[in-house]
Amino acid sequence: MWFACATSKGDVEALKCRWKSITHHECNEHEWTDDNGEQHRCDHAPLTAQEKKNRMWMRKYSMAFQDLSSLVLDKRLLRDMEKMALFKHTGPLEVFHSALLKYLPKRQAFSFQGMKERCHLAFLEHNENIVKRKQDTTKTGQARFNQVFSKRSKQWVLKKIFTPHTTQFIDTLIKRVMDRRRNPNIQFTLPISSLAMPQPALPPNITPVPKPSKEAATTSFQSRF
Ligand SMILES: [Zn+2]
């Protein structure tokens, strides 16, 4: 499923075709004709006789094959898979949310302007570290990897080591503020200004009844005792 989604590049039909190919590949059938008379073949290199011999293949129309087919060709699953053609997953979004929490802690209240500017800082940090992040290299220019044991596949796998987390944008911002302070003629065009939004008309508070005067509140408070 991962492979089919990762390689379909937004093409829903290509995604479904790759996914459905499981029912052919598992039966040692790597080239086939579909119901519409179209020819298809697996993306892998042709298998040698030895490779074919080393694998256990499914017998077509066996009980196991019918069970597999009913899962793979399930109409609801195929419909849901259309949504996966762009191969987006939520990892980077979660990373962004945690960057947002650094600038916008939930325990504190901020003004609308404060929220907006703090969001911008989180965008800058996210762009600097996640969007533009590259794999780290050694002094001799070799890509750096970490060897980790995968519990799922039960083997050692390589994981990319990325460049360390930075907050270079803060230095850049401070420098630009100082430059502007020293020379008021400097004009900045901030690309982020395209995100400008007017302040929404918010009520001062969300209570359904107006706040009574302090005197009235004190009187009624005392009268209760
Ligand atoms: Zn195949």
Taking the centre of ligand 1 as the mean of its atom positions, its distance from the CA of residue 29, in whole angstroms, is 6
Residue 47 belongs to what domain range?
2-84
Taking the centre of ligand 1 as the mean of its atom positions, its distance from the CA of residue 60, in whole angstroms, is 14
pLDDT tens digits for range 81-113: 999 888 887 888 898 999 899 999 999 999 888
Taking the centre of ligand 1 as the mean of its atom positions, its distance from the CA of residue 4, in whole angstroms, is 13
- Do 36 and 112 share a domain, yes or no? no
- Percent of the chain exceeding pLDDT 90 equals 52
Predicted pLDDT at 224: 61
pLDDT tens digits for range 146-194: 999 989 888 999 999 999 988 899 999 999 889 989 988 887 766 555 5
- pLDDT of 8 > 80? The answer is yes
- Do 70 and 96 share a domain, yes or no? no
Predicted pLDDT at 106: 92
Q: Which residue has the higher pLDDT, 218 or 68?
A: 68
Taking the centre of ligand 1 as the mean of its atom positions, its distance from the CA of residue 121, in whole angstroms, is 48
Taking the centre of ligand 1 as the mean of its atom positions, its distance from the CA of residue 128, in whole angstroms, is 41
- Please, which pLDDT band fits residue 225 given cuts at 50, 70 and 90? low
- Do 52 and 67 share a domain, yes or no? yes
Mean pLDDT within 207-223: 85
116 within a domain of the structure (yes/no)? yes
Predicted pLDDT at 92: 82
Please classify residue 18 by burial: count the beta carbons closer than 10 Å to its beta carbon, then call 0-12 exposed, 13-18 middle and 19+ buried.
buried
Taking the centre of ligand 1 as the mean of its atom positions, its distance from the CA of residue 150, in whole angstroms, is 26
Taking the centre of ligand 1 as the mean of its atom positions, its distance from the CA of residue 30, in whole angstroms, is 4
118 within a domain of the structure (yes/no)? yes
Taking the centre of ligand 1 as the mean of its atom positions, its distance from the CA of residue 153, in whole angstroms, is 21
Predicted pLDDT at 13: 92
| Averaged pLDDT score across all residues of the chain | 88
Predicted pLDDT at 56: 92
Taking the centre of ligand 1 as the mean of its atom positions, its distance from the CA of residue 42, in whole angstroms, is 5
Taking the centre of ligand 1 as the mean of its atom positions, its distance from the CA of residue 56, in whole angstroms, is 13
- pLDDT of 223 > 80? The answer is no
- Do 97 and 76 share a domain, yes or no? no
pLDDT tens digits for range 18-45: 999 999 999 999 999 988 899 999 999 9
Domain total of the chain: 2
210 within a domain of the structure (yes/no)? no
Taking the centre of ligand 1 as the mean of its atom positions, its distance from the CA of residue 32, in whole angstroms, is 10
